[in-house]
Amino acid sequence: MAKMIHSLFLINCSGDIFLEKHWKSVVSQSVCDYFFEAQEKAADVENVPPVISTPHHYLISIYRDKLFFVSVIQTEVPPLFVIEFLHRVADTFQDYFGECSEAAIKDNVVIVYELLEEMLDNGFPLATESNILKELIKPPTILRSVVNSITGSSNVGDTLPTGQLSNIPWRRAGVKYTNNEAYFDVVEEIDAIIDKSGSTVFAEIQGVIDACIKLSGMPDLSLSFMNPRLLDDVSFHPCIRFKRWESERVLSFIPPDGNFRLISYRVSSQNLVAIPVYVKHSISFKENSSCGRFDITIGPKQNMGKTIEGITVTVHMPKVVLNMNLTPTQGSYTFDPVTKVLMWDVGKITPQKLPSLKGLVNLQSGAPKPEENPSLNIQFKIQQLAISGKKCLAWV
């Protein structure tokens, strides 16, 4: 993994290289031409292949928040290593500047440079934990820049971060709060593919437990579940003691300070996932006519008395669709005639009156009846419900 990342280029959507950082010798920007070539070939920005080989280098890139992070490497390296690292860089920018955008990065270019230098040394990642980075380089705040300009002090810490070398590198020492609090968010996403007739082709639950911990000192926490056997496929934050989980199925850990993701887990379709909504749909195109009918209705299935909210429906219509003339019973819809994407922002479902969207579809005249079936993508939220049935038990 020699010299893992040689150089890093940040490129915006219009193809401007707006930041470059070299960890070894300077690599000419022209190396990015290979990337632009691949970008041109890919119809969509999202389709640019993440690993591109050039005569002398490899380019490994990620696409985040409308920015490309393109890294240049020269020798055999684990690409996942690089990709993970690039995502960590983007996460850090997000964490420091509130957003990971070209404007934010340009506004804080010196901090960005300091951060990149602190995160990687000769291809070896140094400090990637936000807790440690923040001790080394203070995030920008309006207050601090005012204070700094008055006192002349800097935003670079001059003592060694305490967590850097302890066995708990993720936590800084000497944390003090007057109000000690800890919050946990359990977020579960169902990812399901349902066929025309309504039967589930594939469903799984992706869950995460995000925590916000504001506790003084070195708190040692444990968290146990009512039905831990659901959690077979889990990825843990390094702070969790794996031995204890293996033997007792208890999450025991000294948490980092602040926000972090404690665990993420997957519950696969074998444990039958009940999808809380259903869609009735009828989309038809008449033979030899330039219009078709479109009619979808959404309704709740068993939802344990919770309301389903924040529903949006996205439909990718066939290419020959010119325009759509629809009436929603609630919410609003838009149709983008260029990308052929129909978006319907539904809002909440009230069981008394099920939301529906009906109307006419205009096709290109003379075009044959579309073969493909439009796919519907539905997103919704339910507060205070864990689909997997996971329950959290106690705090020690």
Partner 1 sequence: MTDSKYFTTTKKGEIFELKAELNSDKKEKKKEAVKKVIASMTVGKDVSALFPDVVNCMQTDNLELKKLVYLYLMNYAKSQPDMAIMAVNTFVKDCEDPNPLIRALAVRTMGCIRVDKITEYLCEPLRKCLKDEDPYVRKTAAVCVAKLHDINAQLVEDQGFLDTLKDLISDSNPMVVANAVAALSEIAESHPSSNLLDLNPQSINKLLTALNECTEWGQIFILDCLANYTPKDDREAQSICERVTPRLSHANSAVVLSAVKVLMKFMEMLSKDLDYYGTLLKKLAPPLVTLLSAEPELQYVALRNINLIVQKRPEILKHEMKVFFVKYNDPIYVKLEKLDIMIRLASQANIAQVLAELKEYATEVDVDFVRKAVRAIGRCAIKVEQSAERCVSTLLDLIQTKVNYVVQEAIVVIKDIFRKYPNKYESVIATLCENLDSLDEPEARAAMIWIVGEYAERIDNADELLESFLEGFHDESTQVQLQLLTAIVKLFLKKPTETQELVQQVLSLATQDSDNPDLRDRGYIYWRLLSTDPVAAKEVVLAEKPLISEETDLIEPTLLDELICYIGTLASVYHKPPSAFVEGGRGVVHKSLPPRTASNESTESPETAPAGAPTGEQPDVIPTQGDLLGDLLNLDLGPPVSGPPLTTSSVQMGAVDLLGGGLDSLMGDEPEGIGDTNFGAPPPAAPARVGAPIGSGLSDLFDLTSGVGTLSGSYVPPKAVWLPAMKAKGLEISGTFTRQVGSISMDLQLTNKALQVMTDFAIQFNRNSFGLAPAAPLQVHAPLSPNQTVEISLPLNTVGSVMKMDPLNNLQVAVKNNIDIFYFSTLYPLHILFVEDGKMDRQMFLATWKDIPNENEAQFQIRDCSLNAEAVSTKLQSSNIFTIAKRNVEGQDMLYQSLKLTNGIWVLAELRIQPGNPSFMLSLKCRAPEVSQHVYQAYETILKN
Stretch that binds partner 1, among 72-80, 209-217, 301-309, 359-367 (CB under 8 A): 72-80
Q: Smaller CB distance to partner 1: residue 114 or 295?
A: 114
Among positions 89-108, residues that touch partner 1 (CB under 8 A) are: 106-108
Residues 173-192, mask of contacts with partner 1 (x by CB under 8 A): ------------------x-
Task: Name residues whose C-beta falls within 8 Å of residue 304's C-beta, 6 or more positions apart in sequence.
Answer: 385
Among positions 29-58, residues that touch partner 1 (CB under 8 A) are: 29, 42, 44, 46-47, 49-51, 53, 56, 58
* Residues 52, 21: Cα–Cα separation, whole Å: 19
User: Residue 314: beta bridge partners?
Assistant: 343, 377
Task: Name residues whose C-beta falls within 8 Å of residue 214's C-beta, 6 or more positions apart in sequence.
Answer: 177, 179, 180, 181, 182, 257, 258
Size of the site for partner 1 (CB under 8 A): 100
| 222 burial type by CB count under 10 A (0-12 exposed, 13-18 middle, 19+ buried) | middle
Q: Which of 6, 39, 63, 298 binds partner 1 (CB under 8 A)?
A: 63
Q: Which two tokens stand for residue 316?
A: 């990718």
- Supply angle C-alpha 44, 46, 48, rounded to 5: 85
Q: Is 1 in the site for partner 1 (CB under 8 A)?
A: yes
Question: In this structure, are strands 181-194 and 200-214 parallel, antiparallel, or unpaired?
Answer: antiparallel
Q: Which of 237, 244, 281, 358 binds partner 1 (CB under 8 A)?
A: 237
Torsion of CA 64, 66, 67, 73, to 10 degrees: 50
Stretch that binds partner 1, among 80-88, 211-219, 271-279, 322-330 (CB under 8 A): 80-88
Q: Which two tokens stand for residue 5?
A: 């990342």
Q: Which of 13, 40, 99, 122 binds partner 1 (CB under 8 A)?
A: 122
Q: Is 234 in the site for partner 1 (CB under 8 A)?
A: yes
Best CA proximity match to 394, nearest among 168, 184, 233, 179: 184
Q: Which of 22, 286, 301, 306 binds partner 1 (CB under 8 A)?
A: 22
* Residues 285, 370: Cα–Cα separation, whole Å: 8
Give min distance, CB of 330 to partner 1, in A.
26
Q: Which of 177, 242, 293, 351 binds partner 1 (CB under 8 A)?
A: 242
Stretch that binds partner 1, among 22-30, 216-224, 284-292, 378-386 (CB under 8 A): 22-30
Q: Which two tokens stand for residue 311?
A: 């529903």
* Residues 119, 96: Cα–Cα separation, whole Å: 14
Q: Which of 12, 224, 259, 269 binds partner 1 (CB under 8 A)?
A: 269
Q: Is 204 in the site for partner 1 (CB under 8 A)?
A: yes
Give min distance, CB of 307 to partner 1, in A.
27
Q: Is 244 in the site for partner 1 (CB under 8 A)?
A: no
* Residues 101, 46: Cα–Cα separation, whole Å: 17
The per-residue DSSP string of 111-163 comes to: HHHHHHHHHEETTEE----HHHHHHHBPPP-HHHHHHHHHH---SB--S--GG
User: Residue 58: beta bridge partners?
Assistant: 53, 73
Asked if 299 contacts 276 with a C-beta cutoff of 8 angstroms, the reply is no
Q: Smaller CB distance to partner 1: residue 102 or 294?
A: 102
Q: Smaller CB distance to partner 1: residue 149 or 178?
A: 149
* Residues 67, 313: Cα–Cα separation, whole Å: 26
Q: Which of 11, 62, 70, 357 binds partner 1 (CB under 8 A)?
A: 62
Give min distance, CB of 51 to partner 1, in A.
5
Q: Is 23 in the site for partner 1 (CB under 8 A)?
A: yes
Q: Which of 94, 101, 222, 264 binds partner 1 (CB under 8 A)?
A: 264
Among positions 310-369, residues that touch partner 1 (CB under 8 A) are: 316, 319
Among positions 360-389, residues that touch partner 1 (CB under 8 A) are: 371-373, 375, 377
Give min distance, CB of 121 to partner 1, in A.
6
190 backbone dihedrals φ, ψ, rounded to 5°: -95, 135
